[in-house]
Structure formats: C-alpha cells, structure tokens
Amino acid sequence: MRKEIPSGNGESYCFVCGQNNPIGLKLKFFIEDNSFIVTEFTPKKELCGWEQLVHGGIISSVMDEAMSWTVLHIANLVGVTKELNVKFKRPIFINERITIKSQVKNKNKKEVRLFSEVINREGVVCAIGEGVYAILNKGRMKRISK
C-alpha cells in the first residue's frame, strides 16, 4: 500500500521535489509498506544526456532525493548526503516511466546507510545506488541554516 507524503509548506525550491521551482521535477513521494520511499516519473527530452537516454546526473539526483526522504520518513531522522554511489546497469530512456525505490540498510548514531534502485516499466532494474547520510542534530542544523 502506498501513502503520499505531503510535500511540506510549499516554499521549497528543491530541484527534485520543490513544487515552486519553475524548472524543477516537482516529484511526489510515497511511503510503501512502511518500509520504502517510492516515486515515479516520466523523464522528458529536456533531461536527455546522450541520444535518447536520461542524463545520469538527473537519475543520481532523483535517487539521492528518494534516499533523503527515506532518512526523514522511514528512519525518522534529519540527514544530509555524505556519500552517493550509483551504478547504471541498463539504459534509462526519455519519455519512459520509471519507478525509484529507496530503503534503509542500517543506521547508527552518526549516519544512515541506504539502498535505492530505478526500475523501468518492464520491471527491470536499470540503476542501483547506495548512500550514506550524516545525521544532523539541532546544533548542526542551526549551523547549516545560517
């Protein structure tokens, strides 16, 4: 079962999820089975890299965002990207719907490790990613937001 996660106060200019960013992707995220964060979208030609393929940086950004939402809504923590590793296994084509899923692998006091994958409309895994997110306490959050 999927449950949509509200996108917040509407002031976000995040390139991936910000609803007010005029050039952003404006993706919506969902909690699935209380274990995964999921989003789906159809990359348009403006996101093309080589020939008919989606630019790898766009795919990496969406995977990073899915993992960030996983830290917040599954691990119930606030964190920022410390490491991101993406392996592309199959081509991801523009104008073809893809699903991005993310889940927590493990966590400790300082960081959360996550796994993410991109699945095409045939159900084939096209990219896998692992991320490490540094957990922010209130003091670190104040220093960053200045």
Q: Are 38 and 64 in contact (CB under 8 A)?
A: no
> How wide is the angle at C-alpha 39 spanned by C-alphas 103 and 93, nearest 5°?
110
Instruction: Answer yes or no: is pLDDT of 9 > 90.
Output: no
How many residues are listed for the chain in this entry? 146
CB contact at 8 A, 15 and 60: no
pLDDT at 144: 62
Domains of the chain: 33-144 (3.10.129.10)
Q: What is the mean pLDDT of residues 101-130?
A: 97
Mean pLDDT to the nearest integer, 76-103: 97
The pTM (predicted TM-score) of the whole model is 0.91
Tell me: pLDDT of 115 over 60: yes
pLDDT at 130 over 70: yes
Query: How many other CB atoms are there within 10 angstroms of residue 32's CB atom?
Result: 15
Tokens (6 digits) for 134: 């540094």
Please give the pLDDT value at position 60.
Answer: 97
What is the structure's pLDDT at 29? Answer: 95
Q: Indicate the range of 16-20, 99-103, 106-110, 128-132 predicted with least confidence.
A: 16-20
